[in-house]
Amino acid sequence: MTEPAKSSKSWVLLAFLVGIALGAGAMRVYFTHTIGTWTPAHRFTVKLDEDLRLDPEQIRRVDLILLEQRKSMEDLRSVWKADVRLLAREGEDQIASLLTSLQMDAFMKRHDEIHGRMVRFLWITDADPTAIAVSPKP
């Protein structure tokens, strides 16, 4: 291959790589500054404003209502998650009450394989076992 042909292929390749880098950078800026701040509540407010032509005070109040609703939903979700964990522990307790100590060891091993290692602060294997455990914080 001649020297000018190699040079032109190098420039094409360089232009292609620069284009990829610039495109990736532009996408990063776009996602960071637009979609990253585009929450469902914000989309709802924008759509509501488009449909109903809200004034600035109405938009502000709708945003406050949605913020309060989000907090209430998160509070409910945390209570629900605690209730589900307690219910799961009750099931584990009932199963554990049926097992011998050898079976209990195998049960815990299998449990950890299925659910992942859990931090147990109390697991008693007497006649009335208690499976109080907390999952690791995310």
Structural domain of 118: 39-134
Q: What are phi and psi of 6, to 5 degrees?
A: -65, -40
Same domain, 96 and 45: yes
Joined together, the tokens standing for residue 19 give: 């284009």
CA gap 46, 52 in Å, rounded: 10
What pLDDT shows up at residue 17? 95
Q: What are phi and psi of 109, to 5 degrees?
A: -65, -50
Same domain, 92 and 47: yes
**Contact partners, residue 135, CB within 8 Å, separation at least 6:** 85, 116, 118, 119
Same domain, 20 and 78: no
CA gap 132, 114 in Å, rounded: 17
CB count within 10 Å of CB 80 equals 10
Same domain, 113 and 66: yes
What pLDDT shows up at residue 123? 45
Q: What is the pLDDT of residues 47-104, one digit of tens each?
A: 999 999 999 999 999 999 999 999 999 999 998 988 888 888 888 888 888 988 888 8
Q: What is the pLDDT of residues 97-120, one digit of tens each?
A: 898 888 888 888 887 777 666 544
Q: Is 31 exposed, middle or buried (0-12, 13-18, 19+ CB in 10 A)?
A: exposed
Same domain, 47 and 24: no
